[in-house]
Structure 1
Amino acid sequence: MFDFDQYLGFLAFLTILTIGFWLMIFLLTFVIPYWVGGSFIEFMKEKREERKLKREQENN
């Protein structure tokens, strides 16, 4: 049915496909939400700091 070379190529294809699948699952469930959440927290810190400086300038 398969020659040995075809069998190795098929195994390489399945390995690459599986690695890509699990990499996409990892990126979509952990890395991207972590990145978006962290940038949102940093944005909120900057806004809070801006408001704090504005309030201090109004008081002086």
Structure 2
Amino acid sequence: MFTFEQYLGFLAFATILTIGFWLMIFLITFVVPYWIGGALMERLKEMRDEKKAKRQALN
């Protein structure tokens, strides 16, 4: 059926595949939304500061 080297190769492949799968799940569910949310909050903060600066320049 399988030689021992083939069995070890299959185990290595299955391990790498599983690690990659869980890494993608982690990135999609936590890291990417955190990154997008932080970028949006930073942009809104910049826009609010620009409006405040314009108001102060008019006064």
Question: Same fold, TM exceeding 0.5?
Answer: yes
Q: Which TM-score applies when normalising by structure 1?
A: 0.97
Q: Mind listing any 5+ residue stretches in structure 2 that lack a counterpart?
A: none
Offset at residue 45 of structure 1 (A): 0.2
Identity of matched residues, %:
69
Partner of 1:11, secondary structure, is helix
Ranges of 4+ aligned residues in structure 1 off by more than 4 Å: none
- Which residue type is aligned with residue 51 of structure 1? K
- Summarize deviations over 1:6-34 as a string: whole Å, max 9, x none: 00000000000000000000000000000
Instruction: Report the aligned-residue RMSD.
Output: 0.3
- Which residue type is aligned with residue 10 of structure 1? F
* Structure-1 separation of matches of 2:42 and 2:13: 41
Partner of 2:38, secondary structure, is helix
